[in-house]
Amino acid sequence: MFVSIVRVALGVPLRRLFDYRAPLDETLTPEDIGRRVRVGFGTRSLIGVIVALADASEIPDEQLKPVETVLRDLPPLPADWFRLTEFCASYYQTPLGEVMLSTLPAAMRRVDPPKARAARRAPGQPAAQDAPALTGEQRQVLERVAADTADKPGFHAYLLHGVTGSGKTEIYLRLVEQTLTAGKSALLLVPEINLTPQLEARVTARFPDTGLVSLHSDLTDATRTRNWKAALEGRARIVLGTRLAVFTPMPELGLIVVDEEHDASFKQQDGMRYSARDVAVFRARQRDIPIVLGSATPSLESWANATDPDTPARYALLELRARAVTGARLPAVRRIDIRTEKLRDGFSGVLLQAIAQCLERGEQSLIFLNRRGYAPVLACAQCGWVSRCHRCAANLVLHLADGRLRCHHCGFECRVPRACPTCGNQDIQPFGRGTQRLEAVLTERFPQARILRVDRDSAKSRKQWESLLERIHSGDADILVGTQMLAKGHDFPRLTLVGALGADAALFAADWRAPERLFSQLMQVAGRAGRADLPGEVLIQTQFPEHPLYAALVRHDYPAFAAAQLAERRHAGFPPYAYQAMLRAEAPQMADAIAFLATARAWPPAVEHASVTLYDPVPMRLARRANLERAQLLVESPSRRALQAFLSAWNGRLASIKAPSRLRWHLEVDPLEF
């Protein structure tokens, strides 16, 4: 074939590829597919990826621009990376070029990349840490995996359900070891940057001589690029990263692990709204390799896949029921009925007493409230003024620590007024409680205690977070007050008491996923308490002590909770028993947003879509954010295939709907939030 045309994917919001003339002085061959090129686009230059070569184009010759440069600094992106990005483009209804370019490190997409500095020489590595003898349960799990893969090598999807502290990480490490021994590499995904240092330390301690790189958004561009290159070139045998790392090209990939698979952070919330967990499963299937999804509280989707014979994507269930360390037991969970107990500043007498005793014993306690700030709203009792965000349909949250009112949705902030802005009343009052207020209450009650608040305000940067963790570990804190940040995967050795406040709100929330999140958060936060020599206790303040969610929690019975929730979902026709997509529109006027959605709804394509339901357009729960009115339209089908076919046809036509220029819309597949 005489190559005269180069077909290029560009990171622009158009569902097409772009043809360029091949450079005259360079011979391109099919091996160059997957290389990056620099091309002119309008008045700019852009970096794109060569997707195909051709000998002719439909574009008239005189309109074709030549490729400016073929970049040969890297090996071409491999074929399986193409298949993965193509799958995502089609599944998530996103232009291929956008998918491809968005998965590359920023420097790889830049026309003038920063000069790469000389690489990561690792200092003298310590000797490999010995692996502990496996517990009986761990051995069974590994034997099961070994038997499966001996029987039939290739793709196997496992859901590893193990209670907190059951030694799931040890399972990952053993599987990684086997993968490395077989000459392959492993990809480990964690939901949050905050969890990478901990796992990185454990993996490095076990495999000190193996190229391990991490990939997450907190790295400098240069480091990220270097690490990504090491993966692409096959030098990094272990890649540890957050959701975007699922796209890392790895030529010898032999195992994928997704830790804390239930965590909503695996879902990307803008651009291509993908679930890294789901993409990981797809990637494993495509590469024909095993994947392990691990959690103490799996997502109900995964649990259904592992336990419900009616779901199509079957996972094999692996279970660890006991804590790994001999003698360590799960903490006792108790409900405190706050209908009968008088609360003092939000605390029951039982909880205050337990904190006092914990202090006396020199142990740590943790008070969990999933709401940051001092109080969710400031109000005037005289005239009814409340602190509203003027840009959003939401209240401004009182942050007393720095004397600000803040909107948690758009970031607007201002000074706390001294008096009511409408009537001048000087006695304006905070309503409700956030972590700052609990901190203040506890400081007053326990003046001798060292109290540490851990939330997104006190741990803004990675550095701050690490120094907080350091203080917790060194025993430099008696009482921790925190949000779900504290619930995730950390070991706090001296922690023996957990108190949970304000949990009930999630029981009756409009969001039908709220109970799932609540159960998982409480189970995870409870999992922080107790060791072999220091048994733990969890106290939950509630007005609904008989609620089945709490009853299951007391028994540490995730399977019972999950079964009950799945039964409800099946009955209501909710995921995982239905597949959903959401079309959202935002505009300065609600009427425009609704009108756009109504047009979209009235314009179904000519494909067979009998099993697809389009609901009415409705304002979103947060109906205005940053001065934009927001509305959404739910699309649902009991068949994933039918939904996909419908979306492909529909999405192509949405772009041609006439709408005001300031209207923005996007389509989200498998939405988590409503």
**Would you tell me which residues interact with Zn ion (CB under 5 A)?**
380, 382-383, 385, 389, 391-392, 407, 409-410, 412, 420, 422-423, 425
What does 652 interact with, of Zn ion, ligand ADP, none (CB < 5 to 8 A by kind)? none
Q: Is 248 a binder of ligand ADP (CB under 6 A)?
A: no
Q: Which stretch binds ligand ADP (CB under 6 A): 33-41, 129-137, 269-277, 448-456?
A: 129-137
Q: Is 169 a binder of ligand ADP (CB under 6 A)?
A: yes
The correct pick among 12, 142, 325, 356 for binding ligand ADP (CB under 6 A) is: 325
Q: Alpha-carbon torsion 536, 540, 546, 548, what sign?
A: negative
What does 267 interact with, of Zn ion, ligand ADP, none (CB < 5 to 8 A by kind)? none
Give the HSE-up count for residue 461: Cα atoms under 13 Å, Cβ half-sphere: 4
Q: How far is the CB of 553 from ligand ADP (least distance, A)?
A: 17
Q: Which stretch binds ligand ADP (CB under 6 A): 126-134, 184-192, 450-458, 575-583?
A: 126-134
The correct pick among 94, 103, 135, 365 for binding ligand ADP (CB under 6 A) is: 135
The two tokens of residue 168 are: 């799931």
Which of 168/630 has CB closer to ligand ADP? 168
The two tokens of residue 358 are: 């914990």
Q: Is 534 a binder of ligand ADP (CB under 6 A)?
A: no
Q: Which stretch binds ligand ADP (CB under 6 A): 134-142, 454-462, 625-633, 645-653?
A: 134-142
Which of 168/517 has CB closer to ligand ADP? 168
Q: Three-state SS across 384-399?
A: CCECECCCCCCECEEE
Q: Is 166 a binder of ligand ADP (CB under 6 A)?
A: yes
Burial class (CB in 10 A: 0-12, 13-18, 19+), 570: middle
Cα–Cα distance measured from residue 33 to residue 31, given in angstroms and rounded to the nearest whole number = 5
Q: Is 530 a binder of ligand ADP (CB under 6 A)?
A: no
Q: How far is the CB of 324 from ligand ADP (least distance, A)?
A: 4
Q: How far is the CB of 482 from ligand ADP (least distance, A)?
A: 19
Q: How many CB atoms lie within 10 A of CB 295?
A: 24
Q: Is 164 a binder of ligand ADP (CB under 6 A)?
A: yes
Q: How far is the CB of 629 from Zn ion (least distance, A)?
A: 13
Contact 320, 160 (CB under 8 A): yes
Q: How many CB atoms lie within 10 A of CB 481?
A: 29
The correct pick among 35, 36, 161, 168 for binding ligand ADP (CB under 6 A) is: 168
Q: Is 484 a binder of ligand ADP (CB under 6 A)?
A: no
Q: How far is the CB of 667 from Zn ion (least distance, A)?
A: 25
Contact 95, 15 (CB under 8 A): yes
Which of 130/270 has CB closer to ligand ADP? 130
Q: How far is the CB of 411 from Zn ion (least distance, A)?
A: 7
Which of 137/504 has CB closer to ligand ADP? 137
The two tokens of residue 122 are: 């690792």
Q: Is 307 a binder of ligand ADP (CB under 6 A)?
A: no
Q: Is 170 a binder of ligand ADP (CB under 6 A)?
A: yes
Cα–Cα distance measured from residue 376 to residue 380, given in angstroms and rounded to the nearest whole number = 14
Q: 């300031």: which residue's tokens?
A: 662
List, edge to edge, every strand of the sheet that includes 404-406: 397-399, 404-406, 413-415
Radius of gyration of the chain (CA): 27
Secondary-structure percent of the chain, ordered helix, strand, coil, rounded to 5? 35, 25, 45
Cα 561 to Cα 217, 264, 506, 519, 557, distances in angstroms: 35, 19, 15, 8, 7
- As a whole number of Å, the end-to-end CA separation of the chain is 51
For ligand ADP, the binding residues (CB under 6 A) are: 132-135, 138, 162, 164-170, 324-325
